Amino acid sequence: MPIDFQAPPTAQVQPASPVSFDEQYEKARTLANSGQPALALAAYNALLAQSPGNVDVLLGRGIVYTRMERWSEAQADLEAASKASPDYADVWLALGNLHQWHDQPQQAVDAYGRLVALRPSDASAWQARARANRAAGRTAEARADLEKARTLGASGAEIDAALAALEPRSAPLPEPQLQPRAGNPEAALAAGYTWAASLSGSWTDVGSGPRWNDQTASVRHYMKGGSIGFETLRAHRFDQTGHAWALDAYADLWSGAYANIRYQRAPSARLFPANSGRIEVYQSLGNGWEASLADDVLGFDSRVNIYGFGLGKYVGNWYVQLRHQAIVSEGSHSNGQRLLARYYYAGDADSYLEATANSGRSDDPLSLSGGRARSGGGSVTWVRYWSDNWGTKVGASFSRGANDARERGVSVGLYRRW
C-alpha cells in the first residue's frame, strides 16, 4: 500500500502589530520625564508629523522646549495649543511655568489666572499664581492667593513660609545699607515697588507773630539704577505765601557709590530762592561706614553755597551720622553741625525712630530757614508703615536762637507706595 507522504503544514508568521499612536505618545512622555529631552523631542516631532496640530503633542513638546530653555519655540507650541483648546487647564499651567521661568512675571500671572478660572478648587493653581504675583511685585494679590490656597487645603506650614517670604522688610538691615541719603530714607524703596507718593506738612510756633506752615506733595518713580521724583512745595511765613517745584533724582555711580541731584524752581521767589540745586555723592567705606560730600546752591539775591560733609555708620538696626556744613555767601561764612541717630525698631528699612541735635547754622540746606543763625535745637520723628503700602510720619522740633528766640514745631506725613 503506497504511503502518501505530505509535507507538514507551514507555520503562518503573523506580522508585528504596528505601534499605536497612544503608545508612541506614552513613550515620548516617558522620555521627557526621564531626563532625555532630545529623544523626547524627536518622538514628539514624529507624532506631529502623523497628527499635525494635536493639542496633547503640542503641549508635550512645548514642555520639553521649556525645559531646554528654547523659549520662543516653547511659547509657539503652547500658544497654539491654547488657541486650539482654550479650556485645557494643563496648557495654561505649562504657559504659566514658561513665563515664570523666563522671568516674565506679568505674563505668568495672566496664564495662571486662566488656570485658576478653570480649576477654582485646585490649591496648587492658586499657589502658582501667588508665586507669579510675588515676582511681579504684587504682594497684596500674592497674599490673597495664598490665603485662598489655605482654605482649599494647602499645607499650612507651606503657606506660612510663602507668606513670610512676601515680607522683604522683615529681614535685618544689610550692612552697609546704602540708603540714598540718610536724611531721606523714603528714597530707598522696599523691594517689589516702583512708585511712591507722600504728602506732608509742618506748623511752627515762632513766639511772636503768626505761626508758619508749609506743605510738600511728591511722587517718585524707581528704576533700575536710580529714581526720579517730582515735588510741589508751599510755604506761608511772614504773612506771605510762596510756591516752588522740584525734580529730585538718585543715580548709581561706581561700586558702592551713588548721587543725589536736585533742582528747585520758585517762579515768584518770595519765600523760596528763585533757583536752587544740590549735588551730593555718597560712598561706602566698608564695615558699615559711609561718607558723603555735598554742594547746595541757593539762588537768593546774594548767592549762597552750602558745602557739606557727612560720616555715617550702620550698626545692626542703628544708623548714626555726623554732618558738618560750611555756609558761604557774599561777605559772610558760618558753620553748623548735626548729629542724627535712627533706630529701625521693627528690624526693617521702613519703620524707625529718629532723633537729631544741631548747633550753629541750619542743618537742612534747602529749607526756608537755610543759613539762619541759631544756637541749637533738635527734633524727634516716628515713622511707621502700618501695611505694605501705607505709612505715616509724626515729628516734633524745637530750637533756641539769638536773643533767646524760641521755636517749636510739629510735622505729619502720609506715605503710599505701589
What does the pLDDT look like over 81-137, one tens digit per residue? 999 999 999 999 999 999 988 888 899 999 999 999 999 999 999 999 998 988 887
pLDDT in tens, 265-322: 988 877 788 888 999 998 888 778 889 999 988 877 778 888 889 998 888 788 899 9
What is the pLDDT averaged over residues 20-40?
85
Model pLDDT, residue 184: 44
Comparing 288 with 172, the larger pLDDT belongs to: 288
pLDDT in tens, 381-405: 999 988 878 999 999 998 876 555 6
Strands 390-400, 289-298: pairing kind: unpaired
What is the pLDDT averaged over residues 6-31?
70
pLDDT in tens, 227-237: 899 999 998 88
pTM: 0.55
Model pLDDT, residue 168: 46
Q: Is the pLDDT of residue 145 over 80?
A: yes
Q: Is the pLDDT of residue 16 over 70?
A: no
Q: How confident is the model at residue 15 (pLDDT cuts 50, 70, 90)?
A: low
Q: At what angle do helices 156-165 and 123-135 cross, to 10 degrees?
A: 10
CATH class as words, domain 21-169:
mainly alpha
Q: How confident is the model at residue 365 (pLDDT cuts 50, 70, 90)?
A: very low
Segments making up each domain of the chain, as ranges: 21-169, 185-417
Q: Is the pLDDT of residue 27 over 50?
A: yes
Q: Which amino acid is at 161?
A: A
- Choose the CATH number for 185-417 among 2.40.160.40, 3.40.50.2020, 3.30.420.40, 2.30.42.10: 2.40.160.40
Report the percent of the chain where pLDDT is more than 70: 83
pLDDT in tens, 317-330: 888 999 988 877 77
